[in-house]
Amino acid sequence: MKRLVLAVVLVLFASTGMVGLASAETIKVGAILAVTGPASFLGGPEARTLEMLADEVNKSGGINGKKIELIIKDSGANPEKAISFAKQLIEEEQVVAVIGPSTSGETMKVKKIFEQGSTPLLSCAAAEVIVDPVAQYVFKTPQKDSYAAQKIFETMKEMGISKIAVLAGNTGFGKAGKDQLLKIAPTMGIEVVATEVYDKKSTDLSAVIAKIKANKDVQAVVNWSIVPAQAMVAKNMRQAGWDVPLFQSHGFGNIKYVEAAGAAAEGIIFPAGRLLVADSLAADHPQKALLSKYINDYEGAFKEKASTFGGHGYDAFIILMAAIEKAGPDKAKIRDEIEKLQNLPGTGGIFNFSAEDHNGLGIDSFEMITVKDGAFVPYKKM
């Protein structure tokens, strides 16, 4: 009899929406980020940005009256941890979407899990293979590798450079970028005369630099990585007395890399979103107000410079919130709404998604930037 009464009570609770009330009061959003470890320059700013934004949304009443419950998992840039956290967030936490991972290698390892789990993933990693070919539930916020390569080559052509060396870290991002550079170079009249891949844990690249420096045809170097070795490339080149131009990928967009390289960073050229040079934008630029607010809020809260990487987290969050506002906490509908988003200003550019484009940014989202007196400034042809 007691069992029958209990069953009736549960049915009544279910019919009135009282079963699962605690979970219904919040919207669970997961994040897999490299808060610590070798990619902490990426994941740290991303995590802090998400926490700041979630707090801001919740203080303003949440989304459609429901507060965001943010669950951040620190992968340390370890793909195996990312896999474990992906399954945990989908199966146990039952999140409506996940932001991250921070790195391309991790993202590629978990991509299939989110497809099978029908859960939206908004990656903060840049490799183009994350969204090409398109996977139904997988999106990313950083600009495309191919566009970064094109911007670099356009600048080289303006400088009269036609023969280059390509360096890359042995990460998913490094491999993807190297492949794009080698593929696009011939179409833009650039000849790659030397290529080298180095270990992401390297602390001294002087031997690699000496090898490519011996090739007298090299007029410039492109380094494609996201690890602290970016600073080491610059240091070792200058220590070797080699003053050819050094180009970096869009993975260079954190002033900490400049600080680590010191004087050797002077003159480095790379493509990035406008967040790093927000002060130079016209007052009526569609990204100006958003960038200024994010920079002021982030730097005021955390007492450190805002970076491109925190911006990737910012973009993923606002994209997800825009979709949830229209779709509610339904994973399939959230996916559909992300794909419909048009003319949404973010830190990385103006996002325009479609069924064919799960990145949503064009080549015009990039600015060429250089390092001058230890700071990021817009690059101007000399």
Q: Dump the DSSP string for 206-219.
A: HHHHHHHHT-TT--
- CB-count exposure of residue 336 (10 Å: 0-12, 13-18, 19+): middle
The DSSP letter of residue 144 is P
Cα(98)–Cα(94) distance, rounded to whole angstroms? 10
Residue 3, pLDDT > 50, answer: no
pLDDT band at 14 (very low <50, low <70, confident <90, very high): very low
pLDDT tens-digit series, residues 56-109: 999 999 999 999 999 999 999 999 999 999 999 999 999 999 999 999 999 999
Cα(156)–Cα(335) distance, rounded to whole angstroms? 39
- Percentage of residues in the chain having pLDDT higher than 90: 89
pLDDT at 228: 82
The DSSP letter of residue 373 is T
pLDDT at 201: 87
Helical H segments across 163-222, by residue range: 172-184, 206-213
pLDDT at 1: 35
Q: How far is CA 71 from CA 89, 140, 157, 309, in A?
A: 8, 19, 46, 19
* DSSP β-bridge partners for residue 33: 74
Cα(107)–Cα(103) distance, rounded to whole angstroms? 6
The DSSP letter of residue 284 is T
**Phi, psi (rounded to 5 degrees) for 292:** -65, -40
Cα(242)–Cα(240) distance, rounded to whole angstroms? 5
Q: Set out the domains of the chain in order of their start, with CATH numbers.
A: 26-143+290-364 (3.40.50.2300), 145-272 (3.40.50.2300)
Structural contact between residues 43 and 82, judged by C-beta atoms closer than 8 angstroms = no
Cα(192)–Cα(163) distance, rounded to whole angstroms? 6
Pair of tokens at residue 359: 């990145």
pLDDT at 133: 95
Question: Please, which residues have CB within 8 angstroms of residue 300's CB and are 6 or more apart in sequence?
Answer: none
Helical H segments across the chain, by residue range: 2-15, 21-24, 40-59, 79-87, 104-116, 145-159, 172-184, 206-213, 229-239, 255-261, 288-302, 308-327, 331-340
Cα(148)–Cα(63) distance, rounded to whole angstroms? 35
Residue 19, pLDDT > 70, answer: no
Pick the range with the lowest mean pLDDT from 6-20, 112-126, 191-205, 239-253.
6-20
Structural contact between residues 268 and 221, judged by C-beta atoms closer than 8 angstroms = no
